[in-house]
């Protein structure tokens, strides 16, 4: 049910500094930026120049609060790779299929992710130490 690697998420202490680092060193462009209060993050999606927006992106995640998922990750592990996100066409069906196989999903119901996507997560301890996100893009999503 995975249709693509949607994005790889990196926890950063300072979003603007991280955007500038990726621009200056790797030439990546900001495709989208938003604040997600529920997740406690300010985030940016970065893409390689000239790509249409359907390719794998890099998600920079900065905490809004110390007790958020990213805030805790930074204090425990420091900046670095925090998640791998698979694109799926139906997040509810994908979550149900994984639960059926005995994996713990973090949410009972999918929550709102970037650009009105719907997201859920597999517990990292059930996925080889990797926080795996499932992301169903919004139906009317236009490429970034
Ligand atoms: C924690 N652990 C991880 C991990 N975070 N392992 C791999 N990758 C990570 N990102 C390990 C941790 O070291 C512990 O291992 C164990 O899992 C349990 O951790 P914990 O300290 O008890 O739990 P917390 O409080 O750190 O919570 C971890 C989880 C939390 C994964 C439950 O981060 C969470 O709810 N994440 C989902 C939401 C999220 O990440 N939101 C921010 C991105 P040991 O020490 O016991 O061995 S928002 C987003 O992605 C959006 C909006 C989007 O994509 O659209």
Q: Residue 121: which pLDDT band, with cuts at 50, 70 and 90?
A: very high
Under 8 Å between Cβ of 73 and 54: no
pLDDT of residue 140 exceeding 90, the answer is no
Enter the ipTM.
0.97
Check pocket membership of 36 for ligand 1, CB cut-off 6 A. yes
**Ligand 1 atom with the shortest distance to the CA of 117:** 55
Q: Is the dihedral of CA 18, 126, 72, 31 positive or negative?
A: positive
Domain limits for position 75: 2-136
141 domain residue, yes or no: no
Residue 98 belongs to domain with CATH number: 3.10.180.10
**Ligand 1 atom with the shortest distance to the CA of 85:** 54
pLDDT of residue 91 exceeding 90, the answer is yes
Write out pLDDT tens, residues 12-24: 999 999 999 999 9
Q: What is the mean pLDDT of residues 75-99?
A: 98
Cα(119) to centroid(ligand 1), Å: 14
Q: Residue 143: which pLDDT band, with cuts at 50, 70 and 90?
A: low
142 domain residue, yes or no: no
pLDDT of residue 39 exceeding 90, the answer is yes
Give the pLDDT confidence score for residue 8 in this predicted structure.
98
The 3-state secondary structure of the chain, one letter per residue: CEEEEEEEEEECCCHHHHHHHHHHHHCCEEEEEEEECCCCEEEEEEECCCCCCCCCEEEEEEECCCCCHHHHHHHHHCCEEEEEEEEECCHHHHHHHHHHCCCCECCCCCEECHHHCEEEEECHHHCCCCCEEEEECCCCCCCC
In testing the pocket of ligand 1, which one of 69, 95, 125 has its CB within 8 Å of the most ligand atoms? 69
Give nearest CA residue, ligand 1 atom 48.
39
143 domain residue, yes or no: no
For residue 13, report the phi and psi dihedrals to the nearest 5 degrees: -75, -30
Of 2-16, 24-38, 49-63, the one with minimum mean pLDDT is 49-63
34 domain residue, yes or no: yes
Check pocket membership of 129 for ligand 1, CB cut-off 6 A. yes
30 domain residue, yes or no: yes
Give nearest CA residue, ligand 1 atom 34.
69
Q: What is the mean pLDDT of residues 39-46?
A: 98
Counting the structural domains of the chain, the total is 1
What percentage of the chain reaches a pLDDT higher than 70?
98
What is the C-alpha separation between 49 and 42, in angstroms, rounded? Answer: 22
What is the C-alpha separation between 91 and 136, in angstroms, rounded? Answer: 6
């Amino acid at each position: 049910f995975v249709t693509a690697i949607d994005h790889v998420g990196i926890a950063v202490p300072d979003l603007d500094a991280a955007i500038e680092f990726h621009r200056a060193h790797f030439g990546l462009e900001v495709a989208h930026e938003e604040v997600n209060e529920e997740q406690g993050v300010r985030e940016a999606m970065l893409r390689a120049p000239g790509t249409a927006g359907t390719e794998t992106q890099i998600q920079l995640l900065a905490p809004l609060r110390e007790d958020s998922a990213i805030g805790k990750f930074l204090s425990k592990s420091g900046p670095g790779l925090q998640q791998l996100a698979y694109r799926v066409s139906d997040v509810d069906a994908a979550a149900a299929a994984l639960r059926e196989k005995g994996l713990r999903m973090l949410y009972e119901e999918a929550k709102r992710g970037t650009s009105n996507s719907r997201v859920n997560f597999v517990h990292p301890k059930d996925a080889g130490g990797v926080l795996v996100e499932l992301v169903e893009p919004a139906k009317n999503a236009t490429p970034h």
